[in-house]
């Protein structure tokens, strides 16, 4: 294999890797919000996309994470890692917390988002942690 072939192989590996994905609920609203008012969840999704620009993270707006009692809501996942669901996110500060948390998850060798360094909003707002599909408990 030549150096050029190795470079192409490395490029192919990078292209096939799936980044950490942040799903932000765009239908989230507060109970007191009128039905026809702009959705704070949509604003959070836009802000998270802007905050993630240039990081390699993928932000996907999604309709309803079924966490309405604790909205604004978001989830994050990456291959081989646990999926995290968060609620009670603030539309003004939630985007930076989501990006910081996703970066922690992205770098977690064991697939678990470390507690240390996790933004407070993601500590207080943790709803669930879901194991990867191929997870097997070790004794």
Domain assignment of residue 35, given as a range: 16-130
Question: Is residue 5 pLDDT above 90, yes or no?
Answer: no
CA distance 137 to 139: 7
Tokens of 74: 């978001």
Note whether residue 81 is domain-resident. yes
Q: Are 126 and 89 within 8 A, CB to CB?
A: no
**Three-state SS for 6?**
helix
Note whether residue 109 is domain-resident. yes
φ, ψ of residue 26 to 5 degrees: the values are -90, -10
Note whether residue 35 is domain-resident. yes
Task: Give the pLDDT confidence of 75-120 residue by residue, as tens digits.
Answer: 999 988 999 999 999 988 999 999 999 999 999 988 889 999 999 9
Note whether residue 136 is domain-resident. no
Banded model confidence at residue 22, pLDDT cuts 50, 70, 90: very high
Check which CATH number belongs to the domain holding 118 and give it. Answer: 3.40.30.10
Q: Lowest mean pLDDT: which of 6-10, 58-62, 73-77, 126-130?
A: 6-10
Cis previous bond, 72, omega within 30: yes
CA 135 to chain centre: 20
Q: How many domains does the chain have?
A: 1
Note whether residue 137 is domain-resident. no
Note whether residue 10 is domain-resident. no
Packing angle, helices 40-52 and 94-106, rounded to 10:
50
Note whether residue 9 is domain-resident. no
Burial class (CB in 10 A: 0-12, 13-18, 19+), 6: exposed
Note whether residue 5 is domain-resident. no
Tokens of 84: 């995290």
Which phi-psi region, left, alpha or beta, contains residue 111 (left: φ > 0; alpha: ψ -120 to 50)?
left
């Amino acid at each position: 294999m030549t150096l050029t072939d190795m470079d192409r192989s490395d490029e192919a590996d990078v292209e096939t890797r799936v980044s950490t994905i942040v799903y932000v609920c765009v239908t989230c609203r507060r109970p007191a919000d009128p039905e026809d008012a702009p959705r704070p969840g949509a604003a959070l999704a836009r802000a998270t996309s802007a905050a993630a620009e240039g990081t390699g993270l993928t932000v996907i707006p999604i309709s309803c994470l079924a966490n309405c009692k604790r909205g604004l809501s978001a989830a994050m996942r990456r291959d081989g890692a646990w999926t995290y669901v968060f609620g009670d996110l603030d539309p003004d500060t939630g985007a930076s917390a989501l990006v910081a948390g996703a970066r922690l998850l992205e770098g977690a060798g064991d697939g678990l988002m470390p507690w240390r360094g996790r933004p407070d909003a993601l500590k207080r707002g943790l709803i669930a942690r879901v194991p990867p599909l191929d997870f097997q408990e070790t004794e």
